[in-house]
Homo-oligomer: A and B are copies of this chain.
Amino acid sequence: MSKALIIDDEQQMRRLLRMLLESRGYEVCEADEGQRGLQEAAFHRPDVVLLDLGLPGLGGLEVLKRLREWSDVPVLILSVRDQEATKVQALEIGADDYVTKPFGSAELLARLDVIQRRRGPRHTPEIIAGPLKVDLLHHEAQIADEALKLTPTEFALLKVLTEHAGRIVTQNQIVKQVWPGQSSDPSEGLRVHINHLRKKLGDRGIRIVNEPGIGYRLEA
């Protein structure tokens, strides 16, 4: 059975989440405040954390940062609208995904599934996401055993997205990985390369989804 930790200051929200999660077979523990959340995480070792960004006292970002100092547990951010900048920060610190309040229960559970299925950076020469296979050693990419003809930049881009398949990758993260040591801002060109990549991927079960103002996500 998976354990989930909810860190949120609103009692109603905690109750809602608890019901949802328990109906899915999770064992649930809660914290209404950041400091306590960290303690609970250390003690219970949850398999997934649901973290509210708008925490009083120790803020959500700070909690995430301290958590990441010693744990790789998947973290799902709960945020309200107009917290775009903060959401981006959270993803870059190491959050796995976010949902915006108010959210549908189906959406929440789906995202939970995805971030728990993820694996850390692979050390095999291949990354696989659904029908997509990225061979880092030979610089090859295949969909359902059919080779894709990619340019070096497109390959690097697809690699980053596939490594985090199902999760959002911020534009900053992408740019830093694909154009390392770049001074000027190539995020203009990013759109072009995303476009090319989408055309080459076609309609074969792999999509690149845009998250406006934040980044991109590869869906299998």
Residues in A lying within 8 Å of B, measured CB to CB: 38-39, 42-43, 66, 69-70, 123-126, 135, 137-140, 151-152, 155, 164, 167-170, 211-215
Contacts and interface: CB of A to CB of B under 8 A. Distances in A.
Contact of A138 (B70, B164, B213): B164
Contacts of A43: 137
A126 B66 CA distance: 12
Given A151-B212, A151-B213, A140 B167 contact: yes
A4 B126 CA distance: 22
Contacts of A214: 139, 152, 155
Q: How many copies does the complex hold?
A: 2
A152 B66 contact: no
A170 B124 contact: no
A152 B213 contact: yes
Contacts of A212: 151
A42 B164 contact: no
Contact of A70 (B124, B139, B155): B124
A140 B124 contact: no
A125 B42 contact: yes
Can you list the 7 inter-chain pairs with the closest CB atoms, starting with the nearest? A152-B213, A42-B125, A138-B168, A70-B124, A139-B214, A138-B167, A66-B123
Contacts of A39: 125
A39 B38 CA distance: 38
Contacts of A138: 164, 167-170
A150 to B, nearest CB: 9
Contact of A66 (B124, B168, B169): B124
